[in-house]
Amino acid sequence: MDSRKRAGTALDDIKVHVKFKLSALWASAMFCYIYGDYFWLYAPGKLQGMLEGKMEPLGPATQGVLVGVSVSMAIPAVMIFLTLASKAKLSRRLNLVMGLIYTVFVLLTMPGARPFYLFLGSVDMTLTALIVWYAWNWPKQEAT
């Protein structure tokens, strides 16, 4: 019998750079964010409110409100790219700041939310907290 089989084998693995981890975390957080908003459409009375031009809990769906919501949805999507495309120092700063902002943002949207939103919001906050953690603990290298 082969000595490798007797000793057990380890699964092949690679070291994943922090930029890829952060980018994947943003993509995951964005999916939770989007699914929370999508499932919210199934809440009783939600579609009727939309037909009346209301954006619960923000009130009337004015152009300003829609632009604000669009910006809040675009930032995580853009962070997927910026995390990979930016220089390490800028990428780290962006991830620290935006990760903190989105953790607080989701936390502020949770009071009074339905159970599905509380679940997705908790997953989302865990993901954005991990973004902050990975950015804070970004591996250093010796200056040459």
What are the tens digits of pLDDT across the range 80-104?
A: 999 999 999 999 999 999 999 999 9
Per-residue pLDDT tens digits for 8-38: 788 888 888 999 999 999 999 999 989 988 8
Q: What is the DSSP letter of 27?
A: H
Per-residue pLDDT tens digits for 62-86: 898 889 889 988 999 999 999 999 9
pTM of the model as a whole: 0.84
DSSP codes, 58-114: TEE--HHHHHHHHHHHHHHHHHHHHHHHS-HHHHHHHHHHHHHHHHHHHHHH-TT--
Q: Report domain extents, the chain.
A: 17-136
